[in-house]
Amino acid sequence: MTLTPLHLRILLHCYVSPPDEPYSHGTVIAEYQSHLIESELLQYKHPDHIIPTVTERGKAHIQQPLSLPLPQQAWVGADGAVIQM
């Protein structure tokens, strides 16, 4: 399964929100959530929860983009060498 930006947004919402705060951005969300549940990235721990919780596998997917370093601005010459300023 390829994660789209909407998949990541739902995962992040479920990761940081309390279990009774729904993700309210349209009806397509239920379909995307079911894909995440089928892929074992989300699960319902309690039947009274409105949103699912993130599994350990889902947390690993969240940690990937969070662990990327911030880009650094650099000037690069025509030969590909970084120009010091």
- Whether residue 60 has pLDDT greater than 90: yes
10-52 pLDDT, tens per residue? Answer: 898 888 887 677 766 667 788 888 899 999 999 988 777 777 8
In a domain, 84, yes or no: no
In a domain, 38, yes or no: yes
In a domain, 20, yes or no: yes
Q: How far apart are CA 62 and CA 69, in angstroms?
A: 14
In a domain, 83, yes or no: no
In a domain, 80, yes or no: no
- Per DSSP, the residues of 27-78 read THHHHHHHHHHHTTSEE-SSTT-SSPEE-HHHHHHHHHHHTSPPP---EE-T
Least confident of 15-24, 27-36, 53-62, 68-77: 15-24
In a domain, 36, yes or no: yes
Token output for 31: 């379909």
